[in-house]
Amino acid sequence: MLNIKKVITKPIFIILASLAIILFILSIILQILAANKTIKPQTLPRPSLKTDIIQPISLQYRYSGQLPQLTTKFSVYSVPQNTDQFQAPMIAEIGRNFNFTQSPALDQGIEFSTAIFTKPNVDLIISFPPLTIEYGNYQPAQRPKNLIDSEQFVNLAKSFLTAKNILSNAVTLDNGYVQLLQTDQQGIGLPVSDPNLADYVSVNFNYLLESKPLVDKRRRDYPVKLVFNLDSSIRKATVIYPPTQIDTIGTADITTPDQALQAINNGLGTFSKLNDPSIAYTELNQNDMNTATFNSVELVYVYDYESSSIQPFYRFQGYGYTQDGAKIEVGVIITALPQDLYQE
């Protein structure tokens, strides 16, 4: 029988335990030092954001009301590159999480690699980079007599994410955004407010880092989008996996919202939204509108997987009107860091 008292009093055990404690303390000290380290000029990788808007147009912006005073110092992070994310073991594990046991069809593209699992009425597409899944379950669903409430749909969504091992300890989820959807003739889900007109319920989440939204550089709205049938069964999931490890590079003084707005009007910044919410596809040209009004601004973190960095950005949101009077939702993001911090 193992004598615990004898084991823990042996010199080798005491030495190993002491080393473990020292390493733990050192790791905490290093994290504190990194969090308080000021980032030096020309040391950060420049973000490589590209707009998803098919026809970006040039606009002049004003802000409705007074620009808020926000935090003046922000942390900047790096994400260790994980080359194993799109290797066979990881792909197989994700497939098993979604009840696929067969081998997927693989496509190694120039910009993206994909793995596709299929079976009757169900499919799963895994793509990289970043690690993203698109899951569809097209089994017939019955319309229930009574629709469960929003909080229950949020809890269902969180349970789904937990069961599929998608969540990470490096980030948290926000409270979620629930929306009723009605499909049009092309099968596109458009928002409705009347439950009797709804065909599906969507639940969307942001990841949070330091209580700020953490968004992917390509999809700058919600990285987690789940669509449920009205009977509460899952129909579709589009999820960008969060980073599993985030390291602090240091802190930096950020620009003000006023400076960011001036930079946007000087041609900087990237569209995150430019659409008419009443239709499925928005097509605009420069003659349709030339001004827009922002009515909100917030600080978010943007994960740029190409440079393996997470940096603070301003996200401005508002609206504009076309010559025909259509209201267009407008969103622009721009770095909150001074330009002199970036590498030449």
Question: Is there a domain that residue 233 lies in?
Answer: yes
Asked if residue 232 belongs to a domain, the reply is yes
Residues 271 and 306 grouped into a single domain: yes
State mean pLDDT over 7-35: 55
Residue 281 lies in domain: 60-79+247-341
Same domain, 220 and 140: yes
Same domain, 65 and 173: no
3-state secondary structure the chain: CCCHHHHHCCHHHHHHHHHHHHHHHHHHHHHHHHHHCECCCCCECCCCCCCCCCCCCCCEEEECCCCCCCCCEEEEEECCCCCCCCCHHHHHHHHHHCCCCCCCEEEECCCCEEEEEEECCEEEEEEECCCEEEEEECCCCCCCCCCCCHHHHHHHHHHHHHHCCCCCCCCEECCCEEEEEEECCCCCEEEECCHHHCCEEEEEECEEECCEEEEECCCCCCCEEEEEECCCCEEEEEEECCCCCCEEEEEEECCCHHHHHHHHHCCCCEEEEEECCCCCCCCCCCCCCCEEEEEEEEEEEEEECCCCEEEEEEEEEEEEECCCCCEEEEEEEEECCCHHHECC
Tell me, yes or no, whether 221 and 286 share the same domain.
no
User: Do 203 and 288 fall within a single domain?
Assistant: no
Q: Are residues 120 and 168 in the same domain?
A: yes
Looking at the predicted structure, is the pLDDT value of residue 172 above 90?
yes
Are residues 221 and 94 both part of a single domain?
yes
User: Does residue 45 sit within a domain?
Assistant: no
Same-domain status, 114 and 233? yes
Position 30 confidence tier, pLDDT thresholds 50, 70, 90: very low
Q: Among 240, 261, 291, give the residue marking a domain's end.
A: 240
Each residue of 55-114: pLDDT tens digit?
Answer: 678 899 999 999 988 878 999 999 987 666 788 999 999 999 999 999 999 998 888 899
Tens digits of residue pLDDT in 217-265: 776 678 999 999 999 999 999 999 998 899 999 999 999 999 999 999 9
How many structural domains compose the chain?
Answer: 2
Report field, pTM of the whole predicted structure over 0.85: no
> Last residue of a domain, which of 185, 207, 240?
240
Q: Report the relative pairing of strands 291-304 and 60-63 from DSSP bridges.
A: parallel
Based on the domain organization, do 93 and 234 belong to the same domain?
yes
For residue 29, pLDDT beyond 50? no
Asked if residue 179 and residue 112 are part of one domain, the reply reads yes
The domain that holds 273 is classified in CATH as: 2.40.128.690
Average pLDDT over residues 132-160: 94
Residue range 126-142, pLDDT digits in tens: 999 889 999 999 999 98
Query: Same domain, yes or no, for 118 and 232?
Result: yes
* One domain for residues 95 and 219: yes
Per-residue pLDDT of 288-337, as tens digits, reads 999 999 999 999 999 988 888 999 999 999 999 999 999 999 999 999 99
